[in-house]
Amino acid sequence: MGGFEVGLDGAKGEVTTMFSRAIQSRWRGLGPVVLGALLCCAGCTSQERRSSTQGWLGQGGDSKKRQQNEIDPTRIETRDDIFEIVQFWPQLPWLQKGNRVVGFKVTVYFRSGETELGAFVPGNICVWLHVLEPRAGGGREARLAHTWEFDQLQSVRYRVTRRAIGGYYYGFPLIWPTDLELEGKLIQIQFGYERGDGRIVRSEPRQFRVPVPIGYQPAAEEAGD
């Protein structure tokens, strides 16, 4: 399907965040803004930043105002004219289970060409996870480690149930396969969207060094004990 490699998001279980949540972001074309996400942040480090974030998301003010911003994401019209994908990453995006890092969380806007705002989409959403490995002679090469793919029905569960000033958006907590040990490795994450006309729109890739939790022991070492 447009070159998308299908992956499985089958890892389940109780997942806890590894660190306290925070987010810094910008919205290209709309000026610098601090953006928080329903699934990806929990406030800012100062009252001023907290007020700015809540206003951007439509979460500030009294309960009546918050209720006005609540939506039924299944009833929102989708848009396929996506020209840009913008990711808003928490400072510490990792999901942890026990002493393992098992995935990440991120807020994603798929921007419509007509509205220039975030929109829910009818096509396939893809997420590529590459490991950046040292190359002989210098530099690094990207090795595809895992791919997630969601059609419209599967991606509905990631739609955030509030509309922000920036439009509609998705909150993705994604877990990679249990046999994929990425602790300590340099990885690259990129989102893509397959439009109805066959064009694939890609986000800017983002690189991270996956942390090594206290007490982590590689499976190979455990098997040798």
Mean pLDDT value of segment 83-108: 96
- pLDDT at site 214: 86
Q: How far apart are CA 184 and CA 85, in angstroms?
A: 27
Q: Give the chain's count of helices (H) and strands (E).
A: 4, 10
Structural domains in the chain, CATH included, are 16-212 (2.60.40)
CA distances from 25 to 54, 127, 139 (A): 14, 20, 29
Return the SS3 of 71.
coil
In angstroms, the Cα distances linking 150 to 28, 38, 49, 222 are: 26, 20, 33, 34
Which tokens hold the place of 163?
A: 């509309």
Residue 46 confidence (pLDDT):
37
Residue 168 — pLDDT band, cuts 50, 70, 90?
very high
pLDDT in tens, 18-45: 433 333 333 444 333 333 433 343 333 3
Q: pLDDT per residue over 57-80, tens digit each?
A: 444 445 555 566 789 999 999 999
Question: What number of residues does the chain have?
Answer: 225
Is the pLDDT at 141 greater than 70, yes or no?
yes
Report the alpha-carbon distance of residue 23 to residue 35 in Å, rounded: 7
Give residue 17's pLDDT: 42
Average pLDDT over residues 189-207: 97
Give me 62's structure tokens. Answer: 């009294």
What pLDDT is stored for residue 69 in this prediction?
75
Mean pLDDT (the chain) is 78
